[in-house]
């Protein structure tokens, strides 16, 4: 198994596979990252402008440690 992959929509996070609501009220990306560090979830990789990296229209997730 692994971390739950989530998507971010208007300051809230939802499970990527089912769309199930997880948490809201996360106004800035740093709050999202802080929340992700506690429960076992994985945020999509974003560029410096905050736009998610996409592959074939789907977000890319980094769930391991950098090498």
User: Would you place residue 44 in the very low, low, confident or very high pLDDT band (cuts 50, 70, 90)?
Assistant: confident
Q: How confident is the model at residue 66, as a pLDDT? A: 47
Residue 13 has pLDDT above 80, yes or no: yes
C-alpha span between 43 and 32 (Å, rounded): 8
Q: Which residues of 17-28 are buried (b: 16+ CB within 10 A; e: fewer)?
A: eeeeeebeebee
This prediction's pTM: 0.67
Say which residue, 64 or 42, is predicted with more confidence.
Answer: 42
Q: Strands, E, within the chain: which ranges?
A: 4-9, 12-15, 21-24, 41-42, 54-55, 58-59
Strand partners, 42: 5
Higher pLDDT: 67 or 42? It is: 42
Tokens (6 digits) for 25: 């009220």
Given this model, what pLDDT does residue 21 score?
93
């Amino acid at each position: 198994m692994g971390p739950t992959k989530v998507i971010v929509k208007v300051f809230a996070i939802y499970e990527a596979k089912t769309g199930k609501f997880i948490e809201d009220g996360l106004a800035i990306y740093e709050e999202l990252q802080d929340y992700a560090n506690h429960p076992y979830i994985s945020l999509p990789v974003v560029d410096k402008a905050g736009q998610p990296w996409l592959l074939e229209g789907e977000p890319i997730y980094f769930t391991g440690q950098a090498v």
